[in-house]
Structure 1
Amino acid sequence: MLDVEFISAISVLGSAQWNAIAGLDYPFTRYEFLHALETSGAVAADKGWQPHHIVVRREADIIAVMPLYIKTHSYGEYVFDWSWAEAYQRHGRPYYPKLLAAIPFTPATGPRLCVADEAEREEVMQALASVLPAHAKEMNASSVHILFSKPEISALWQQQGFMQRSGPQYHWFDQEYGDFEGFLASFSSRKRKTLRKERRVVADQNLDLQVLVGSEISSAQWRFFFHCYQMTYAKRSGHGGYLPEAFFTQLAETMPEHLVMVLASHEGEAVAVALNFRDQHTLYGRYWGCVREYEFLHFEACYYQGIEYCLREGLRHFDPGAQGEHKIQRGFTPISTYSNHWLADADFSVAVAKFLKDEKLHIAQYLREASEMLPFRRGDD
């Protein structure tokens, strides 16, 4: 018999117990990451992200944990359900609150339901597939959403009655390239020349790029990063970003081994920065900002330096973040991402299921067409 508990703050469980289940490799389910979100105020009830994490016990032993939030909007999720919310509103029904199992502001595929023993995953999922809908109904939540699961886990949620949704992203995978020149050798001649030209233009603008890891990043560099982070959001969204400076400074103290910063300078002055996270196998591109625009610098700092870092460090996979078809011609392969959804309203559930079936066909067609844009050699290239 499994007991499912909902906790209002990750500190209720504590780092030792949470990390014993979630592990220390994937950065975004680590206690330190989720705790920094809460203590910095980035997620809270008044921000529309009320922590409501799941703890599963067998007798006294914790066997599974899952980040969960009560959401009163759909910002910061990257799996867009605004049209669903609007449809609810048109029919006079509330879409919010909803329950969301996701990493706030982080569209990176990875574990969501963390289990101590993989042999118990199916049993835990079966329990949650019953508990979560019932709990949603009790609190008058419209729905339950599980975002950016690994494909095989998303398929299991689908078997448990949670509709599956797919979406596109663009990821880099090491194909035994050896180094950046080996990576370029896989390109067609014309695409290889184009990429080399972009890198040469960056160098010709007297831009120097430096990769800093963890504790190598100074307080001044963190301050510069946050200034750029705020400027990027101000230009794009008219606000200073979802994450306060305290969030980043706390991560710098508690999990520096996961942080990789690319700093660009012009004649000794910092002008741009990209922040990545990493685990044993993957680099995750997360934030970019600049104080001045330089041609092709974004591609160099956010993509090419990340690929070189992966090749140096033996990382097999680079997830550079959501959106951006321009990544394809630079060697990032179009892939599917997966989420799962349960809606309490039977009529809306039927309508959404039809929408998702049609959307899946369009996504699959798009991915096939997008893959034709990849720069890799074909035949006699």
Structure 2
Amino acid sequence: MATKAVPAATPLSVSIDDVRAAQARISGSIVRTPTLISKTLSKLTGATVYLKFENLQFTAAYKERGALNTLLQLDEAARAKGVIAASAGNHAQGLAYHATRLGIPSTIVMPVNTPIVKVTQTEGHGATVILHGETFDAAYAHSRTLEAERGFTFIHPFDDARVIAGQGTAALEMLEDVPEIDMLVVPIGGGGLISGSSVVAKSEGRSVEVVGVQAELFPSMYNRIHHTEMPCAGDTLAEGIAVKEPGGITAGIVEALVDDIVLVGERRLEESVSLLLQIEKTVVEGAGAAGLAALLSEPERFKGRTVGTILCGGNIDTRLLANVLLRDLARSGRLARLSVRLQDRPGALFNVAKIFQEQGVNILELYHQRIFTTLPAKGLTLDVECETRDRNHLDRLITALRRAQYEVKQIELA
């Protein structure tokens, strides 16, 4: 498809000069993260895949770029009074870290149900954290009230030209390092990162195609651009891009410059987090894996292209990460839970375990169920969690159990 170009008649809120100025401004205070080819993911997807490791920033996310670019443009009076933001995510930590480093007081308003680890991390970067309201909207409203009452400068997580220009430096670095990239695949939440990236992609004679990625559960920018009304709700792994209302500035840039938006499901997001850890040995959050999820969801859309995608963050709860990895093992057949019907008699457990041993399958957990079952009183259900080499190995085990006249059912994941 033909790529969009910068509109000549309607100047955008952010220019390539703004992004280059931001790059000069923040250089030396943020990590110039590497852009590396992934040969394995390239083979898997059919595209030539380059990854930008923004999860290697000090606060593990690209959000530092826009926050710092904004902080450095404040006058002395604003610096003295301090800054405020509403955020329960990466913007909070990036803003807090750089504000403290520059000697600027920072206040972050978070919903009262924010996980304690995010509160302590933000406080650890030197911010004053205020817990207010049950929702982000309530926290945001309170932050704007405090801005007016106390003279703070509010720093928006995405709908600010200075923030957008800062975020665009990630794409600028990527295309400087690998100029042969002809497509950027960028996660979209509020739209700051893709707005800055698309300004870079369409500037200075470049004609790089820009494809945005949103979680299917939160297609807010997709709705705005395509005038649809799909619901924005649900528990997505990609909470970093779970934004119900995109920005006004960002929506204008996206509509002008972004060529396409792809929606990805939760299963692909989980698979992508797992693949990046297994293949690239790097931890990313759900939003950071969204670009790879798009490549896996629509391989024909990207086949043969030289694709750059930004691993925009690595802040994922360790327990959640463990669940994602184990669920991926289960989907690949390497972990399984089988429900086997037995008769309640001596040797029943031994006999079924013998088949597992003969097939070389490792038993991890056993669950006998005699009481809460629809079987007759002399029947029982045995649930077995086991570890196999792959899907074929699991299939051989199930076949062996059925040949031995056992009624067996695999408990599948959603």
Structure 1 or 2, whichever has the larger Rg, is 2
Provide TM-score, normalisation by structure 2: 0.23
* Greater strand fraction, Structure 1 or Structure 2: 1
Provide TM-score, normalisation by structure 1: 0.25
